[in-house]
Structures are given as C-alpha cells and as structure tokens.
C-alpha cells in the first residue's frame, strides 16, 4: 500500500553515502578537476563500491 502524499516522507541520500568514492575524491583533491574527469571517464565501466548507506537502500528496495 502506497502512502498518501500528505503523510509520505522523502529520504535523500547523497551519492557519496550510497557509493564509496574515496579514491575518486582523492584524485579530485590532490590533482584537480581535469584529472578527476579523466579518471572518471577511464573508469566509467567499473562499478562503484557500496558506501555506508548502500545496505539501507538495498533493504528499502527489497521491501517494496
């Protein structure tokens, strides 16, 4: 049963909480935007590692 809009809550989770982007952030912090973008394009087909909020989302998705 779906909640009514007036009683529903919205939960926002940042991508950094959903995925562990420690190494990606290190590239950005140490080398800047251009190397970061290059790094991200080189790794665009590599799945991101789960972050701290990932298990919460997995549970919520399974309950539907």
- 7 is a domain residue: no
* In a domain? residue 31: yes
Predicted pLDDT of residue 58: 85
The answer to the question of residue 8 being in a domain is no
**How many domains is the chain partitioned into structurally?**
1
Phi-psi region of 14 (alpha: psi -120 to 50; beta: other; left: phi over 0): beta
3 occurs within a structural domain: no
Q: What Å distances lie between residue 15 and 1, 3, 21, CA to CA? A: 28, 25, 9
Report the percentage of the chain scoring pLDDT > 90.
Answer: 61
Residue 34 within any structural domain of the chain: yes
- pTM beyond 0.75, yes or no: no
Residue 20 above 90 pLDDT? yes
pLDDT band at 6 (very low <50, low <70, confident <90, very high): confident
Please give the residue range of the domain that contains residue 25.
16-63
């Amino acid at each position: 049963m779906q909640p009514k809009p007036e009683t529903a809550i919205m939960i926002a989770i940042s991508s950094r909480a959903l995925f562990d982007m420690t190494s990606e952030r290190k590239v950005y912090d140490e080398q800047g935007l251009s190397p970061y973008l290059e790094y991200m394009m080189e790794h665009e087909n590599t799945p991101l590692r789960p972050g701290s909020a990932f298990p919460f989302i997995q549970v919520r998705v399974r309950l539907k």
